[in-house]
Structure 1
């Protein structure tokens, strides 16, 4: 479960405010709490984001990070600012950990990353990926994936004659048909926001990783 990182002083103030309002509602007794049904996870959810096409051929990392940030805040750095934070060069953004660190720093949230080195991934790795996507989207956080898309296994519109190394943002899921919604800053053939099957996403990420 994702949580925002709250400075100690702010946490102390929040604690005082919580005590001040405690009389408004009596907390559940242990027996009542045990009887309360757990909320079922949503079958589908999409996040509203501020989409941008990447401004250079190698700023997919900064653009994907900015799109992910926009699910949480309207106070967004430019792609150029994020490129500087990420250490992005003309060779791109080296590792998914740079994305998770920038998201954590800018949002004050506990973003981390998970690598998927096995290609094809194991069923356990696929299950973990789905769990991470659903938990993050349900909590209002987007996931950034680092992908490798070779000819024959590519999202819509990608150049079919070469392998594309790329970052894009997962902004939704639908468990009824096991699909994920992608915001893709490359805009290949005008494909900017689209749905992929989860199985295809799970084959695109190895041997890279994702920030969640």
Structure 2
């Protein structure tokens, strides 16, 4: 796993500094765009920054069915918010069967941010087409450039840029907290396993991982 985007301290595991299973302070992206750059996202060569990472105060999910609330908590942490994951789970209707859909995540994110910044997008087919993949790329770049992470509901198996496979046949939620190469590669914060807390994935692989489900951005 690549560690070049993270400033680490203390015990380093998978490129992240941990203290008692949580990140000791925010994850700081060395290549993040300047916070004074507030221009709207564009595409291709017209964009000033082809990559950007947001700082995450990572926490692993406390049990096997809290991936939805944990992904939302990690996503909101990039805005400096520290929200109780148990209260969030209650508002999402999370049970031992998990969180029903991305549509249960979106209103909670909007309530915590105080505005309707998030909207749910579904990819109902078993495989994302080019139009859906392009929209996902644009939505991620726009969200990250505006300073907020997205949350995605995924299912099945996908391979990251290091060749590591991540398998969640029963479904899972992740946060997308950065991009590079104009959004063709994205950075994922995954609450399932602190040893694989952060990894990068090609946008086509992520779009197919989301297929049959959805994301909120």
TM-score range, shorter chain: 0.7 to 0.9
Task: Write the deviation string for residues 77-119 of structure 1: whole angstroms up to 9, x where unpaired.
Answer: 2111110111100000001011111000011132111000012
Task: State which of 115, 122, 131 in structure 1 corresponds to 2:122.
Answer: 115
- What is aligned with 1:198? 203
- What is aligned with 2:21? none
Task: Write the deviation string for residues 12-63 of structure 1: whole angstroms up to 9, x where unpaired.
Answer: xxxxxxxxxxxxxxxxxxxxxxxxxxx7352000000110000010000000
| 1:147 counterpart = 2:167 | no
Task: Write the deviation string for residues 109-138 of structure 1: whole angstroms up to 9, x where unpaired.
Answer: 321110000121111111111010000000
Taking the aligned partners of 2:76 and 2:209, their CA distance within structure 1 comes to 22
- Native 8 Å contact 2:140 2:183 kept in 1: no
| 1:102 counterpart = 2:108 | yes
Change (3 A) 1:177 1:135: closer
Change (3 A) 1:194 1:59: same
Q: Which has the higher strand share?
A: 2
- Native 8 Å contact 1:171 1:182 kept in 2: yes
How many residue pairs end up in the alignment? Answer: 168
TM-score (norm 2): 0.73
Give the superposition deviation at 1:178: 1.8
Taking the aligned partners of 1:177 and 1:144, their CA distance within structure 2 comes to 16
Give structure 1 stretches of 5+ with no counterpart: 1-38
Taking the aligned partners of 2:183 and 2:214, their CA distance within structure 1 comes to 23
- Native 8 Å contact 1:64 1:184 kept in 2: yes
169-178 vs 52-61, greater mean Cα deviation? 169-178
- Native 8 Å contact 1:157 1:191 kept in 2: no
Runs (4+) off by over 3 Å:
153-159
Give the superposition deviation at 1:176: 5.4
Taking the aligned partners of 2:166 and 2:131, their CA distance within structure 1 comes to 29
Give the superposition deviation at 1:175: 1.9
TM-score (norm 1): 0.74
For the aligned residue pairs, the C-alpha RMSD in angstroms reads: 1.8
Give the superposition deviation at 1:64: 0.2
Change (3 A) 1:170 1:177: closer
